[in-house]
Every structure is written in C-alpha cells, then in structure tokens.
Amino acid sequence: MFRPEEMTKVSLVSSKGMLRKVVEQLYDMKLLHIDEFKKADGYFDLGRPFAEVAGYSEQLIKLRSMISYFKISSTPKEVKDLSDAKIKLNYLNKETTELIDKINNLRSEDARLNEVLSNPVITLEFNKKHLNLRSIVPFVGTVKKKFLEQMEGKDYEIVKKEMNSTVAIALFVPKKEADEVRKLLDKYGFTQYPIPDMGYGKASDVLKDVQKELADATSELEKTKKSNRQFLIDYEYTLQQLVEKDEAPLRFAASSRAFVATGWIPAKKKAEFESQITKITCNKVALYYGEAGHDAPIALENPKPAKPFEFLLDLFTLPRYGEIDPTFIFLITFPLFFGFMLGDVGYGIAVLALTFLVQKIFPPGMKPIFNIVRIAAVATIAFGFVFGEFFGLEFIEHPLLNRMHDINTMLLISAVMGAVHLNLGLALGFINEARMHGIKKAIFAKGSWYVIETGIVSLGLGAVMFNSLVLQIIGAAMLLPGIIMLYKGEGIKGVVELPTLLSNTLSYMRLFAIGLASVALAVVINESAIGLIQQGGMMVVLAVLILVMGHFINLLLGVMGAFLHALRLHYVEFFTKFFEGGGNKYTPFGSVKKWR
C-alpha cells in the first residue's frame, strides 16, 4: 500500500532460433517491462528486427496519414487476413490520394473563377482587338464617377458600367495623349484590372460545373471515409502490434547465435512467467533473477478507494523504486483539506450531483478526477454540518464553528492541520532516508527538524504561556545542536530551508482563507437576493436569477480553488519534506499504446 509493487529483475537468455517464439510469448503475457539494451563496446550488439517490419512501417505511414486526414476514431479490433488488408489499403490509398488531389484542384479552380466573376470589368463589352493596337493605349479598370465629367467633350472611345461609388471603364486613348489621361486617372483613384479571358456568362457556367464536380468528389470522399473507417482503425491497430513485436529484438542484446532480454516483472508473477517461458521454449532458455534497483519501473499498488488519487501522483511524478508511495495519504488529507475549504452542505450536494451529470461529456481519461471530486464532495458535506452552512445560509443556529466569526479559532485549526501534515511529511522523509541511506543519515537529515521544532515550541511556550525561564533556556539550547545536525545531514541547503518552517505553516492558513472568501461571496449573493425579494413583484425573478447564477459561479470558483489549493499544499509543502520522485511507469511489453 505504501510502496510501489515489488519488482524482480530478470534476464532471459536463449538461442536466436527461439527469438520469435519468445517475443510472441512475452507480448501475449504482458508482464515484462523491457530494460532497453544500449550498445557499448563489448561482446553484444543490438538485435536485428524481423524482416517484415519495413513493409509494415510503410503501410503504417499510409494508414496514419489517412486516419489523421479523415480525423476518425473508433474502438479497434484485430484484422485477421493481412494480405487481403494490404491490397485493400493500397487500393484505398491510391483512390483517396487521387480524390484528394482532384478536390484540391477543383477548389483552386473554384477560387480562380470566383475571382474572375468578381472582376468589375468582366461585363464591359468592347472590341478585344483594340487592346493590341500600337497607336492606342487602353485603360481598363475602375475609377471614381467624377472622372466621367472630365471626359465630356473628348473624343475617346469609352465603354463604361456604373457601380456603387465607382465606374468600370475601358478607355482607349491615342498614344500621345496617354500620359495626360493617366495623370487624370490617377487623380481620380484609378485601379487597373486584368482583362478576363472569358465572358461573364461563360465563367458562371464553368463555375457551376466546377461546383457540382466538387460536391460530387467531396461526397464520394465522405462515403469512402464512412465505409472504411472501421477497417482503417482495425488495420492500424493490428499493424502497430506487429511492428512492436517485430522491433522488439532491437531492444535486446544479441550475439551471433544467442540473445539476452533484460527487464523487470512483478515479483509475485515470477512463477507464472517462468513456467510459461520454459514451456514455450521447451526448456531451452536460461533465466537469471536479480534484485530490482532504484531504476526499476513503478506500478502503484493501492486499495480501491485510493486508486483515483494515483492520477494526482502521476500528474506530478511517480515515486522512485523503494520510495514511499503517498497515494493513501492523499486519500485522507486531500478530501480533508478540500472539505475544510469549501465546507457547505448545499455546495457539497451540488458538486456531487454535477459530477454525475457532466461526467459523460468528458473523455474517460478524466474519470479519476471525478472520483476524487466525489470523495471530496462528501467531505464538503460533512464540514458543511460542522460550519452549519447551506449555500451560505446558517442553517444551524450555533454551529461547532462559525467561519465568519471564529476567525482566530479557524486560523489556529488551519495552522495545527498544517503542522501535523508537515510533520507527517518529515516522518515519511525519515523512513525514506532510513531505507535508502541508513538510519544515521535519516537522523541527521530529517530527525534534526524534530529537534529544532521541539526547541522552538519549548522556547515559545516558555516565553508566552508559562513565562518560565527554564523552558526558554532548554528550547534555545536545543536549537543549536538541531541546526548543526541539519547541516551535517543536508548541508547548507538544509539550513537555508529553515525559514520554511514558518512560511510552510503559514501557507496552510489558506485552508481558512479560501473558505472565508467562498462564504463571504455566498453571503453577499444571498443578501442581495433577499433585498430584492422584499421589494416584491418582478424583482423576485431577478432575485432568483441572481441566486442561481451567483451560486453557480461561486461553486465553480470554490471547487476549482479548493481543488488546486489542496493539491498545491500536497505538492509544494508536503512533498518537499520527503518525496523525490522520477520513477518510470511500469509499461509491460504488449500493453498497447495509442500513437495519437
């Protein structure tokens, strides 16, 4: 429970003839977490992948590009007939590539035609031959309407079509007067347009054809996607497994005749592992076992209620092998902190109901979070009774604790909870150190904190409560050896950390502060609504609106705040006392990972 699952290191040696059988068996057993062989100058070399792998990889690339183009997903099944699937894939790939090319061409043609149609000079009708005359300069484009007034009385050939604020013109000017006209045109905002290669009627006809073809091609592609969705997903899944198997020898050490596969298996599965491997190889295998070191993979092992909290550890970092797994402590302290912060019967029930309502919208990977929030919501309801609050209303006249008024008591409780939590962390740190580096190091590195704490408490009690000089002297006398021990245990780094005793404890005051903010907001919402209800009439509707919206927003803020701050107290204040982390997750060979 407080340790990751025990692992055994295993080396499997056999002749290369057995390689295929062993790989298949290992894949099906899903037990061995392979320790990848790294080539060094020595007798062994990397193993060679099986020959099929190149073909598979090529097909995987095709498959994955299609899957990501189609943006499809589904639950995969194994494909049985591989040669059939290969032919089907090649055909499909060719067909869709052609279709996609066609669609892309049609799209650019569509864009080009739209541009042609929006060209303002397309409707002007003039003799195209005039464009190529040497003695005449053509101006084709748009210009402000005022320009036409300038043209009155002049003898140029002009074709025009009025538009909203401008006019489209085709103006033909004798060469020697061209410069003059150009200046005039510039003055009236002339924009030149290219002369389209087809008329308006023809262009719109072509566009219609293109659009129809585009629609056909798109629907054909959609049909291909729909009818082959499951096939693509299944085949990708199957090939991925095959590739993983085929590439497995790359992770083993190999000599010319034999291979060595090294890795870890859960200690309790040792007998099962051994019997199956020897059976499949007809006893032509040598197995060597060893102690798992600090680099062993981590499989967390916790009772069912604590399972969801493994997610929070995974989010941060997994413990190293041999280190304490704090998941179970999360199960107790996380809901405690969360409940203490949110602490409202109404909010607790609402959160509980909301988790059941909205869970379906979220991906299944979020499930642990919902379970955590549910446990925390129950704690919220419990603390709601302690504080006597229901949506900010005091439904118990004299609750055990009143968060709005018993400020000093609440601060004290927060600090005490913090002190207990921190000392629990130090105690876990002591156990960790003792296991990893021996009892002496543990006493110096973690025990010293207890000495210093006792010193401070004794000093404080002597000065403030009992007014006893003896207590003060004892306290002060304990501080010095405590600090020296700490210096021996953790070096100057430990001594620098000393002020964190104060700052960490104060940090737990947030347990109270966040709660206070949430209650204060709830009370404000309630009071403004009550004020409106007393006015009566339409104001009652507004009041209900304020109540619903206000409490909903406050609830969201409260849940998010309480969750993150409870998490932070664990990650920052608690974990720094004992947790190192950095372990690798136990992912046995054969457990399929998703590439997306």
Partner 1 sequence: MVDLGSSIVALSAGIAIAGAALAAAWAEKEIGTAAIGAMAEKEETFGKGLILTVIPETIVIFGLIVAILIIGKM
Q: Which is nearer to partner 1, 258 or 411 (CB)?
A: 411
By CB neighbour count within 10 A (0-12 exposed, 13-18 middle, 19+ buried), where does 401 fall?
A: middle
In the complex, minimum distance from the CB of residue 509 to partner 1, in angstroms, rounded to a whole number: 5
Q: Which is nearer to partner 1, 364 or 499 (CB)?
A: 499
In the complex, minimum distance from the CB of residue 360 to partner 1, in angstroms, rounded to a whole number: 25
Q: Which is nearer to partner 1, 96 or 505 (CB)?
A: 505
3 state SS of 293: coil
- Cβ neighbours of residue 8 under 8 Å, at least 6 residues apart? 264, 265, 266, 267, 270, 289, 290, 291, 292
Task: Report how far residue 351's alpha carbon sits from residue 364's, in angstroms, rounded to the nearest whole number.
Answer: 19
- 290, β-bridge pairs: 9
Using CB under 8 A, which of the segments 267-275, 463-471, 502-510, 530-538 binds partner 1? Answer: 502-510
CB 507 within 8 A of CB 573: yes
Ordered strands of the 166-174 beta sheet: 157-162, 166-174, 136-144, 191-192
The phi, psi pair for 371, rounded to 5°, reads -65, -40
In the complex, minimum distance from the CB of residue 510 to partner 1, in angstroms, rounded to a whole number: 5
In the complex, minimum distance from the CB of residue 513 to partner 1, in angstroms, rounded to a whole number: 5
In the complex, minimum distance from the CB of residue 524 to partner 1, in angstroms, rounded to a whole number: 17
Residues 165-184 that bind partner 1 (CB under 8 A): none
Residues 406-465 that bind partner 1 (CB under 8 A): 407, 411
Q: Which is nearer to partner 1, 163 or 407 (CB)?
A: 407
Residues 246-305 that bind partner 1 (CB under 8 A): none
Positive or negative, the Cα torsion across 344, 346, 348, 351? negative
Task: Report how far residue 395's alpha carbon sits from residue 77's, in angstroms, rounded to the nearest whole number.
Answer: 56
Q: Which is nearer to partner 1, 469 or 506 (CB)?
A: 506
CB 120 within 8 A of CB 168: yes
> Both tokens of residue 234?
């299944």
Number of residues that bind partner 1 (CB under 8 A): 17
Using CB under 8 A, which of the segments 295-303, 342-350, 377-385, 562-570 binds partner 1? Answer: 562-570
The phi, psi pair for 170, rounded to 5°, reads -125, 110
In the complex, minimum distance from the CB of residue 117 to partner 1, in angstroms, rounded to a whole number: 43
- 264, β-bridge pairs: 9, 33
Look at residues 524, 521, 504 and name the one whose alpha carbon lies nearest to residue 561.
Answer: 521
Q: Does 370 bind partner 1 (CB under 8 A)?
A: no
In the complex, minimum distance from the CB of residue 371 to partner 1, in angstroms, rounded to a whole number: 19
In the complex, minimum distance from the CB of residue 280 to partner 1, in angstroms, rounded to a whole number: 36
3 state SS of 588: coil
> Both tokens of residue 241?
């497994």
What Cα–Cα distance (Å) separates residue 516 from each residue in 386, 416, 521, 544?
14, 18, 9, 24
Q: Does 507 bind partner 1 (CB under 8 A)?
A: yes
Q: Which is nearer to partner 1, 148 or 509 (CB)?
A: 509
In the complex, minimum distance from the CB of residue 319 to partner 1, in angstroms, rounded to a whole number: 13
In the complex, minimum distance from the CB of residue 507 to partner 1, in angstroms, rounded to a whole number: 5
Q: Does 369 bind partner 1 (CB under 8 A)?
A: no
In the complex, minimum distance from the CB of residue 314 to partner 1, in angstroms, rounded to a whole number: 9
Using CB under 8 A, which of the segments 110-118, 285-293, 559-567, 588-596 binds partner 1? Answer: 559-567
Burial 489-499, CB ≥16 within 10 A → b, else e = bbeeebeeeee
Q: Which is nearer to partner 1, 66 or 410 (CB)?
A: 410
Q: Which of 198, 564, 585, 595 binds partner 1 (CB under 8 A)?
A: 564
Q: Would you give the DSSP letter of residue 298?
A: B
Task: Report how far residue 319's alpha carbon sits from residue 432's, in angstroms, rounded to the nearest whole number.
Answer: 11
Q: Does 587 bind partner 1 (CB under 8 A)?
A: no
Positive or negative, the Cα torsion across 115, 120, 125, 127? negative
CB 143 within 8 A of CB 192: no
Q: Which is nearer to partner 1, 91 or 316 (CB)?
A: 316
Look at residues 372, 402, 375 and name the one whose alpha carbon lies nearest to residue 386.
Answer: 402
For the window 508-547, what string marks contact with partner 1 as x by the rule CB under 8 A?
Answer: -xx--x----------------------------------
Q: Which is nearer to partner 1, 61 or 564 (CB)?
A: 564
3 state SS of 181: helix
> Both tokens of residue 151?
């043209």
Q: Which is nearer to partner 1, 316 or 552 (CB)?
A: 316
In the complex, minimum distance from the CB of residue 504 to partner 1, in angstroms, rounded to a whole number: 8
Q: Which is nearer to partner 1, 44 or 571 (CB)?
A: 571
Look at residues 327, 439, 449, 343 and name the one whose alpha carbon lies nearest to residue 399.
Answer: 343
What Cα–Cα distance (Å) separates residue 128 from each residue in 124, 159, 170, 252?
11, 12, 11, 77
Task: Report how far residue 497's alpha carbon sits from residue 55's, in angstroms, rounded to the nearest whole number.
Answer: 58
3 state SS of 349: helix
Q: Does 571 bind partner 1 (CB under 8 A)?
A: yes
3 state SS of 59: helix
Residues 302-321 that bind partner 1 (CB under 8 A): 315-317
Q: Does 498 bind partner 1 (CB under 8 A)?
A: no
Q: Does 72 bind partner 1 (CB under 8 A)?
A: no
In the complex, minimum distance from the CB of residue 327 to partner 1, in angstroms, rounded to a whole number: 15
Q: Which is nearer to partner 1, 142 or 518 (CB)?
A: 518
Q: Which is nearer to partner 1, 507 or 526 (CB)?
A: 507
In the complex, minimum distance from the CB of residue 317 to partner 1, in angstroms, rounded to a whole number: 6
Residue type, 550: G
Q: Which is nearer to partner 1, 382 or 411 (CB)?
A: 411
Q: Which is nearer to partner 1, 266 or 561 (CB)?
A: 561
In the complex, minimum distance from the CB of residue 502 to partner 1, in angstroms, rounded to a whole number: 10
Task: Report how far residue 253's alpha carbon sits from residue 274's, in angstroms, rounded to the nearest whole number.
Answer: 20
Task: Report how far residue 287's alpha carbon sits from residue 181's, in angstroms, rounded to the nearest whole number.
Answer: 97
Using CB under 8 A, which of the segments 17-25, 347-355, 433-441, 504-512 binds partner 1? Answer: 504-512
Chain residues binding partner 1 by CB under 8 A are 315-317, 407, 411, 503, 506-507, 509-510, 513, 564-565, 567-568, 571-572
